[in-house]
Amino acid sequence: MAELMTVASPGEWGSVPGAGLGPRLEAPLLLVEDNAALRQMLSWELSELGYQVCAASGCVQARALIDRQPLLRFALIDIRLPDGDGRALGAELAARAPGLAIVLMSGAHGLEPDPGLAPHVRAFLRKPVNLNSIHQLFAATDEHPRQCASSR
């Protein structure tokens, strides 16, 4: 059973992107978010922190991206996607890249994290997500990127 990490609360480090967040993480990150405005904002802010962001609007696009960018260290995935379930996508990614740090997020009211979250899920965040929380979770990950196995 995965243990949910406690992360900073909104506003704990101020509003300047990257302020007090520690070292830049120059690592590939897959962002899967169907809301175009939120996807663009998170992509920009995470890029400012040094992440190499590959953004997808859903499961199909995410799978295509990981086929082209097999070295992933982090994944930030919305649970409710128009073409599938983010939890299932996370499990698929974890099978392809053991050690991948996955954070799930959702803005759905009444959706609670499963207390028995799969071991590949580091945390569940409620939207609106806090950039500081995301960075803190990923900065705590000390594993190295893994080569994804081919799904074909």
The model's pLDDT over 93-143, given as tens digits with 9 standing for 90+, comes to: 988 887 789 999 998 876 665 655 677 788 888 899 888 888 888 888 744
Query: Is residue 84 scored above 90 in pLDDT?
Result: yes
CATH superfamily membership of 28-145: Response regulator (3.40.50.2300)
Mean pLDDT of the chain: 76
Q: Judge contact between 58 and 81, C-beta under 8 A.
A: yes
pLDDT at residue 145, as a whole number = 40
Full DSSP string of 65-101: HHHH--EESEEEEESEETTEEHHHHHHHHHHHSTT-E
Can you give the pTM of this predicted structure?
A: 0.76
- Parse the chain into domains and list their residue ranges: 28-145
